Amino acid sequence: MFEFFKKRFRKSVDKFSEEVEKEAEKEIKKEKPKKVKKPKEKEIKEKKAEKKKEERKETKEEKEKIKKEVEKKEEVKDIEQEKITEEKEPEEEEAEEKKKGFVSKFREKISTISLNEDKFEELFWELEVALLENNVAVEVVEKIKNDLKKELTEKRILRKNIEKTIERTLKESINELFEQESFDLVKKIKEKNKSNEPYIIAMIGVNGSGKTTTLAKMARMLQKEKLSVVLAASDTFRAASIEQLQKHADRLKVKMIKHDYGSDAAAVAYDAIEHARSKNIDVVLIDTAGRLHSNKNLMQELKKVINVSKPDLKLFVGESITGNDCVEQAKIFNEMVGIDAIILAKADIDEKGGAAVSISYVVKKPILYIGTGQEYDDLEEFKPEIIMENLGL
């Protein structure tokens, strides 16, 4: 899974880290301390001679005066002496702090780095291209870029931790893409069943996305949870769609409600729901016609199916390998009928992984499951760790 993305992404991240480290080395060379000129021996001797001459010039009167002043100082009370001591202490501390501050600042300059924005843009370019090549949505690329920029341009980081900082920031940034709150579908179904009502799920998406096969996988998963299922063949538009779903129903040994081709898709959904109520069936899975979001008539029909069936869950099924197209489709279906969650089909053959990385963040809906093969059991609960692992983070 995501093999091409992993290699390209890993290579670009490593190169980005190397380039930042090179910039750190350049900065070290600029920060060489200036040499302090040592005073010459001749100058030192002359200063000492001048000092001795000044000392000889002192008259006896001046010495007496100094002596009296010293005596007066000795007579000063203990409290005044403490006052003098207290006044001196902050001055000494300040001098010491200045000394330490200079050393700390210099040490910080040679041991840490902070890039300017222009240099960051230059270094990030190749990583940005790698993300776009792997169908990562522009909104997601911008998020990752801004998170890295904030870490590398607004803060100073230890030179020895450059690679770790970049890795950590990338990991945190990509993890945040999946912050949409997920939920336990089986638990929700059982909660509604307590009121003797079936839980209704409408499967929506474009032609060829693996929607019907994914519906059959859902039925299998629910059967394993001891839940009863009925299928609604509401795709009355595509040739052989009813026969395809019937084969799945026969294999899974579940009931399927169907009408003729060209009949009202909403009526099929309605009949399936009524059948579930009369037979006390737990879940209704509605298969809708795969439609292009540009086909207004079919989109209107989908709206009618949704209005009549009033599903508890509208699941968008997207084909992971279509990348940005999958994300754009999800956005439009969400605007038209409002999707609740996502299933990514064919994730096992997706070498790039852009849809998996982007779709939840862009549409603001959780990914519930991913398709990992052709068998009925090849439907896995989605976990962000799967993405991180497949990206080598």
CB contact at 8 A, 215 and 287: yes
Instruction: Specify the amino acid at residue 29.
Output: K
Minimal CA–CA distance to 186: which of 379, 391, 8? 379
- The pLDDT, as a whole number, for residue 111 is 47
Q: What is the mean pLDDT of the chain?
A: 80
What's the pLDDT score for residue 316? 96
Q: How far apart, in Å, do the first and last CA atoms of the chain sit? A: 14
Most confident of the ranges 40-49, 164-173, 274-283, 325-334: 274-283
Q: Is the pLDDT of residue 339 over 50?
A: yes
Q: Which two tokens stand for residue 393?
A: 């983070």
102 pLDDT band (50/70/90 cuts)?
very low
Domains and CATH numbers, the chain: 3-27+113-178 (1.20.120.140), 185-383 (3.40.50.300)
Expressed in percent and rounded to 5, the helix, strand and coil fractions of the chain are: 65, 10, 25
Asked if residues 357 and 140 have their Cβ atoms less than 8 Å apart, the reply is: yes
Does residue 22 carry a pLDDT above 90? no
Confidence check: pLDDT of 230 > 90: yes
The distance of Cα 68 from the centroid of its chain, to the nearest Å, equals 78
Q: If residue 255 lies in a helix (H) or strand (E), which one and from where to where? A: strand 255-257
> β-pairing, 379-381 with 367-371?
antiparallel
Please tell me the distance from the alpha carbon of residue 171 to that of residue 106, in angstroms, as a whole number: 32
Answer with the residue of higher pLDDT: 97 or 352. Answer: 352
pTM of whole model > 0.85?
no
For the stretch 23-59, pLDDT in tens is 666 665 655 555 545 455 556 666 666 666 665 555 5
- Of the listed ranges 100-114, 122-136, 260-274, 357-371, the least confidently predicted one is 100-114
CB of 270 closer than 8 Å to CB of 310: no
What confidence tens digit (pLDDT) does each residue in 277-324 have? Answer: 999 999 999 999 876 656 677 788 889 999 999 999 999 999 988 888
Pairing of strands 283-288, 313-319: unpaired
